[in-house]
Chains A and B, each alone.
Chain A
Amino acid sequence: GAVVSQHPSWVICKSGTSVKIECRSLDFQATTMFWYRQFPKQSLMLMATSNEGSKATYEQGVEKDKFLINHASLTLSTLTVTSAHPEDSSFYICSASSGAAATDTQYFGPGTRLTVL
Chain B
Amino acid sequence: QKEVEQNSGPLSVPEGAIASLNCTYSDRGSQSFFWYRQYSGKSPELIMSIYSNGDKEDGRFTAQLNKASQYVSLLIRDSQPSDSATYLCAVEEGGGADGLTFGKGTHLIIQP
Contacts and interface: CB of A to CB of B under 8 A. Distances in A.
Contact of A104 (B88, B95, B101, B102): B95
Interface string B90-112: 00101111111111110000000
Given A97-B97, A108-B43, 16 more contacts: A32-B96, A42-B104, A43-B88, A46-B101, A100-B94, A100-B97, A101-B95, A102-B51, A102-B95, A103-B49, A104-B96, A108-B44, A108-B46, A111-B42, A111-B43, A113-B41
A110 B103 contact: no
A98 B97 CA distance: 9
A21 interface: no
Interface of A: 31-32, 34, 36, 42-46, 49, 51, 59, 93, 95, 97-111, 113
Given A43-B88, A102-B32, A102-B51, A93 B43 contact: yes
B31 interface: yes
B95 A44 contact: no
| Dominant SS among interface residues on chain B | loop
Size range of the chain B interface in the assembly: 20 to 34
Nearest to B89: A43
Interface of B: 31-32, 36, 41-46, 49, 51, 88, 92, 94-105
A110 B43 contact: yes
B87 to A, nearest CB: 11
Contacts of B36: 108
